[in-house]
A and B are shown apart, each in its own frame.
Chain A
Amino acid sequence: MIISSFFDIVLVVLILGIGASTIAAREAFAAIICFVVYGLLLAIAWVRLSAADVALTEAAIGGGMTGMLMLGAVARLRSAEGNDIRTSLPTRLAAGAMCALISAGLATAILVPPEVIPTLAPMVMENLAQSGLGNPVAGVLFVYRALDTLLEKVVLILALLGVWSLAPDGAWGGIPGLRVYTQPSRTLTFLAQLLPPVGIVVAVYMCWVGANEPGGAFQGGTILAAMWLLVMIAGLKRVPAIGQPWLRLLLVVGPVIFLAIGLAGMVLAGAFLAYPSGYAKPLIVTVEFALTLSIGVALGLLAAGPPEQAQRQ
């Protein structure tokens, strides 16, 4: 018990220290490196909070994908660095006071919990058996609050559309300018040949196991995206043109199947996004697989950025 609380304290101190240095670091590059480390530490914090699903998501997306995006950005921004505008001291003091106030407010809210802490956990577990799922988080995502999950996929597609819409007109339909440029390297090529088969297996496993244990479409999709990006960065596969019909199809296949099953529920199960009894689990697993594909492609393309060169015929 003592050891674990000691561990927690050290972890929190580390998180706060590294978090502060992402803000305080002078160079953007250093700040981003700090942020990646920070993301990994945060994933451990999530494990300590008994939220393994979130820990996986945080490690994969919060640290990994976001870090990669930022590194790609800083590599391009470097030439334009040296922005000398500094915020004035009074502004900084005022901002500091305001932020301290907000932190204090949040801290108060956390330090004064309600006398009886309300929870939905028993209700979630009681009804989980009907769906045949074993992972309560998946139950919330795909059964009780399926509407949010469905719409959040639409958010992802809109974000991608937003990124694409920044392309110059002439490049529309063309090839995204993947942000990370490396010289072709034999080592990287080797990794890009070796890792993806393993990664794909892990992604499929992640998605499959998600119905009963921590894991699921997000985590699986992120791994898929990472493998795809690796292959593209190593130059083994070209970045596809965004006008490709198959690409568009892959992007929407997850939400479309989800929506279709939801609408079918209106007829077959009496309500939108309800599953006919006995078919819940296979339907949810189908949705999760389709979503894993769509999420993987969407995340990969979000990281790849807007199209920059027209597609050559």
Chain B
Amino acid sequence: MNLAFDILTVSAVSAGALFFLAGTVGLLRFPDPLTRLHALTKVDNLGVGLVVLGLLPRANGLSGALKLVSIWLLVQLSGAIVTQLIAGAVRQRGPHG
């Protein structure tokens, strides 16, 4: 049982980290704001999600697990909104404004 949880933790957190890496590379390499946003949202969504998933078995009881999940939800929310706002600004002022 413990071993299974450990494997889950290691693999999920590693996968999450990989998404972070990919997202960061995308942020640095992609040409314009909208594609960069696209890279960022992937990180927010999957990267944090996988890390949280991996950490769940190690959470401090139910309340700890709930806190972890709510962190993920909050990151989702803020990520989505901020992306919207930036994209809106880009559309209004053009990609270089």
> What residues make up the interface of A, taking CB atoms closer than 8 Å to B?
182-183, 185, 187-188, 190-191, 194-195, 198
Q: Are B88 and A191 in contact (CB under 8 A)?
A: no
Whether the pair A187, B77 counts as a contact (CB closer than 8 A) is no
For chain A, what secondary structure do more than half of its interface residues adopt (helix, strand, loop), or is it mixed?
A: helix
B11 sits at the interface (CB 8 A): no
Give me 17 A-to-B residue pairs in the complex whose CB atoms sit less than 8 angstroms apart, sorted by A's number. Answer: A182-B85, A183-B92, A185-B85, A185-B88, A187-B81, A187-B84, A187-B85, A187-B88, A188-B81, A188-B85, A190-B81, A191-B77, A191-B78, A191-B81, A194-B77, A195-B77, A198-B74
Binding site for A on B (CB under 8 A): 74, 77-78, 81, 84-85, 88, 92
Q: How far, in whole Å, are A191 and B74 apart by their CA atoms in the complex?
A: 11
A187 closest partner in B (C-beta)? B84
Beyond known contacts A185-B88, A187-B88: 15 more, CB 8 A cutoff? A182-B85, A183-B92, A185-B85, A187-B81, A187-B84, A187-B85, A188-B81, A188-B85, A190-B81, A191-B77, A191-B78, A191-B81, A194-B77, A195-B77, A198-B74
Residues of B within 8 A of A188 (CB): 81, 85
Bound: A190/B78 CA distance, A: 11
**Chain A residue contacts of B84, Cβ below 8 A:** 187
Distance (Å) between the CB of B59 and the closest chain A CB?
16
Residues of B within 8 Å of A187, CB to CB, are 81, 84-85, 88
Q: Note all chain B residues with C-beta closer than 8 A to A191.
A: 77-78, 81
> A84 to nearest B CB, angstroms?
24
Most buried by B among A182, A183, A191: A191
Q: What is the chain A residue whose CB lies nearest that of B87?
A: A187
Chain A contacts of B88 at CB under 8 A? 185, 187
Complex Cα–Cα for A188 and B82 (A): 9
Give the residue name and chain of the A residue nearest to B70 (CB).
Answer: A198
Closest chain A CB from B64 CB (angstroms): 12
